């Protein structure tokens, strides 16, 4: 029993029923926070960063050669992937050649060694020092791969379509008739899930973009010393024509002499 000041007595249950305890605002706020945490969605698994859709030019909105916008976007994405792959190889090659790394054997039947080529200077000077026949072989092999990657029949044999006809940009047709396939010759991606392949492609695309900037920085630093302050003194200077596939040593080829005279660089 509990007196209430009026002479009457109440039980504990009657007392609690008439006088409700007050809940402080801080406790109420904490309870609402806990409720929000209980209903918060679980964290998502980490994924590759999305590719930026930055489009400073109207290229992606155009239709190249009278083609559809989808075909145009396929062309642009394929070109970006291809140039990114070339740039990644060029970046690594530039670093190795700049540090004197080369094969220990001869590169011609006349006895010219890779060491002789490396002694010419930086990577651009080493290209100029290559014999004309070596340059032609390299350019013809690149041209062959370029034609093969664009060939509809070769793509169909690999179960693929042309990238401007609904195919996947960046795909190179399989060469199963040779001992090792050009793409993934050791089968590292054979058991990889499609989700992981897509994430790897995003990584490749972003690395290719960085490599394109990197190799052009190397070329600029070699041609115009001081143009890239971070590379000042690290890149061997080059006085030749950085955009010319042939040099004065290849003047026996048709049109090369005139090309060198007309070069704006």
User: What CATH number is attached to the domain comprising 219?
Assistant: 1.10.3460
The answer to whether 148 and 173 have CB atoms below 8 angstroms apart is yes
- Give SS3 for 2: strand
The answer to whether 63 and 188 have CB atoms below 8 angstroms apart is no
54 annotated among ligand-binding-site residues? no
* pLDDT score, position 84: 95
* Residue 164 belongs to a domain: yes
Q: Are strands 2-3 and 9-10 parallel, antiparallel or unpaired?
A: antiparallel
* pLDDT score, position 79: 92
* Residue 13 belongs to a domain: no
* pLDDT score, position 39: 54
207 annotated among ligand-binding-site residues? yes
15 annotated among ligand-binding-site residues? no
* pLDDT score, position 137: 95
* Residue 18 belongs to a domain: no
DSSP string, 150-218: H-HHHHHHTT---TTTT--TT-----TTSSS-SSSTT-TTTT--HHHHHHHHHHHHHHHHHHHHHHHHH
80 annotated among ligand-binding-site residues? yes
Find tokens 């042939």 and name the residue: 246
User: Distance between CA 247 and CA 129 in Å, rounded?
Assistant: 9
Domains in the chain, number? 1
Write out the chain's pLDDT in tens, 265 residues.
Answer: 445 455 444 454 454 445 555 545 555 555 655 555 555 555 554 555 555 556 667 776 777 888 888 888 889 999 999 999 999 999 999 999 999 999 999 998 889 999 999 999 999 999 999 999 999 999 999 999 999 889 998 888 888 899 988 888 888 888 776 556 777 777 788 788 989 988 988 999 999 999 999 999 999 999 999 999 999 989 999 998 888 889 888 988 998 888 888 766 5
241 annotated among ligand-binding-site residues? no
* Residue 56 belongs to a domain: no
209 annotated among ligand-binding-site residues? yes
* Residue 180 belongs to a domain: yes
Q: Which domain holds residue 247?
A: 74-262
* Residue 61 belongs to a domain: no
* Residue 33 belongs to a domain: no
Task: Say how many C-beta atoms besides its own lie within 10 A of residue 21's C-beta.
Answer: 5
* Residue 168 belongs to a domain: yes
């Amino acid at each position: 029993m509990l007196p209430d000041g009026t002479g009457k007595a109440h039980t504990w249950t009657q007392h609690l029923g008439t006088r409700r305890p007050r809940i402080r605002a801080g406790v109420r706020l904490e309870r609402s926070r806990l409720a929000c945490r209980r209903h918060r969605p679980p964290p998502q698994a980490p994924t590759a960063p999305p590719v930026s859709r930055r489009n400073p030019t109207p290229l992606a909105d155009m239709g190249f050669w009278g083609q559809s916008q989808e075909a145009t976007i396929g062309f642009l994405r394929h070109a970006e992937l291809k140039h990114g792959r070339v740039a990644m190889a060029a970046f690594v090659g530039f670093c190795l050649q700049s540090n004197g790394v080369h094969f220990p054997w001869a590169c011609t039947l006349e006895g010219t060694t890779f060491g002789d080529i490396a002694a010419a200077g930086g990577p651009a000077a080493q290209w100029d020092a290559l014999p004309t026949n070596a340059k032609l072989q390299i350019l013809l092999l690149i041209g062959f791969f370029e034609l093969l990657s664009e060939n509809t029949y070769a793509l169909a044999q690999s179960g693929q379509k042309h990238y401007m006809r609904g195919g996947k940009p960046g795909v190179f047709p399989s060469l199963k008739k040779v001992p090792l396939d050009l793409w993934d010759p050791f089968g590292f991606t054979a058991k990889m899930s499609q989700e992981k392949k897509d994430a790897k492609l995003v990584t490749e695309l972003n690395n290719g973009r960085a490599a394109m900037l990197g190799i052009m920085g190397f070329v600029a630093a070699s041609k115009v010393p001081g143009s890239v302050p971070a590379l000042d003194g690290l890149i061997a200077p080059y006085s030749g024509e950085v955009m010319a596939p042939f040099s004065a040593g290849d003047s026996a080829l048709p049109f090369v002499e005139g090309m060198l005279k007309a070069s704006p660089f």
